[in-house]
Amino acid sequence: MFIFNVINSGANIGEIILCILSFLVAAMLAIVIHEVAHGYVALKCGDPTAKLQNRLTLNPVAHFDIVGLLMMILVGFGWAKPVPINPNNFRNRKKGMILVSLAGVVSNLIMAATGLLILFLVAPIIKYSSTTSTIIYALQILIYFFLVFFIKINFILAFFNLLPIYPLDGFQLLNVFLKPYNKFSEFMRRYGSWVLIGVIVLSRILNSSGLYKLDIFYWANYIINLLLDLVA
């Protein structure tokens, strides 16, 4: 689990605190912007539901989900309260659903790319800095941890949300092209949350049993680490 791994990483207490703090801030920002992107694109497509419910804000309190937060702290992956969307308000229902479904994923990819660029620019400064100031050193560590987590979380969110499992964006996108009341959609709407939990649990089992190469999240994380090695 995330907290357990950080505590047992061998880092000193100060670095552990900075690591957890930067992770929570990066995760909160990535998830909140993901949800706001859905609401903003929905508004542009004709649906003001998110705006009327004050969900087009970066204030994390408006998007707070207690279970999602606990999962983020314990497991390292969580979620916010979904932004409400009413497809009946879209000027073009099919186009609106496609754009809204892709909005969160695209926002995560943009944020990840932005984080990579910033890390590329600041990594040499942090690596070769010879400061003796404790405050400046802590700030450098905080910035580095934040950028690394921000990049990883956004890439993982983009990848994870493309899975065709309800209520993820991938399901909403696929469902646009399926016939109404099809068996797959009905199954996912009924059992999708359990399938989602099953995927996460299976990922943990594969990793703990040494079969990590069969885990799709392992390969997603492997690609992310390759990108980080190139810029940091």
Contact residues for 168 (Cβ-Cβ < 8 A; gap 6+)? 160, 161, 162, 196
Q: How many CB atoms lie within 10 A of CB 132?
A: 6
Contact 82, 35 (CB under 8 A): yes
Q: Is 188 exposed, middle or buried (0-12, 13-18, 19+ CB in 10 A)?
A: buried
Among 22, 27, 35, 96, the one annotated catalytic? 35
Coil, helix or strand for 159? helix
Coil, helix or strand for 129? coil
- The tokens for 164 are 């065709």
- DSSP one-letter code for 59: -
Residue 186 is a catalytic residue: no
Gyration radius of the chain's alpha carbons: 19
Q: Is 201 exposed, middle or buried (0-12, 13-18, 19+ CB in 10 A)?
A: exposed
Q: Tell me how far apart the alpha carbons of residues 71 and 74 are, in angstroms, rounded to a whole number.
A: 5
Catalytic residue numbers? 35
